[in-house]
Amino acid sequence: GAVVSQHPSRVICKSGTSVKIECRSLDFQATTMFWYRQFPKKSLMLMATSNEGSKATYEQGVEKDKFLINHASLTLSTLTVTSAHPEDSSFYICSARDLAGEAHEQYFGPGTRLTVT
């Protein structure tokens, strides 16, 4: 089946630094990728929709200057958390739509746990 990877799986950074998280579709092309955030014991919250070759669409309340998204190729989207603060600590998950697959099928990455100290 389709595989989505995320790197890193865990990252600890100091307050004020920036962290980049990568989401890759390993065996398919993805024109659209989604970035989610999950707080402990809560459901996933959509942050933004990433479209290859164009600007990401951010959900209401998500700061686009803080959470920079780049989708430069059909297999890679990156989320950069800029000037991270402890409240940005969370579990970040991406998903990707297979360009050649069923219309509503999405494949999820394993997630990245970010801790900001």
Partner 1 sequence: KNEVEQSPQNLTAQEGEFITINCSYSVGISALHWLQQHPGGGIVSLFMLSSGKKKHGRLIATINIQEKHSSLHITASHPRDSAVYICAVTGAGSYQLTFGKGTKLSVIP
Listed in sequence order, the residues at least 6 apart from 86 whose beta carbon sits closer than 8 Å to its beta carbon are 15, 116, 117
From the list 11, 44, 62, 74, which residue makes contact with partner 1 (rule: CB under 8 A)? 44
CB of 95 to partner 1, least distance (A): 8
CB of 16 to partner 1, least distance (A): 26
From the list 17, 63, 64, 105, which residue makes contact with partner 1 (rule: CB under 8 A)? 105
As a whole number of angstroms, the distance between CA 105 and CA 1 comes to 12
108 binds partner 1 (CB under 8 A): yes
Query: What is the footprint of partner 1 within residues 22-41 (CB under 8 A)?
Result: 32, 34, 38
Sheet holding 67-73, edge to edge: 4-7, 19-25, 76-81, 67-73
From the list 11, 13, 46, 62, which residue makes contact with partner 1 (rule: CB under 8 A)? 46
Residue-wise DSSP of 42-72: S-EEEEEEEETTS--EEPTT--TTTEEEEEE
Binding site for partner 1 (CB under 8 A): 32, 34, 38, 42-44, 46, 49, 91, 93, 95, 97, 102-111, 113
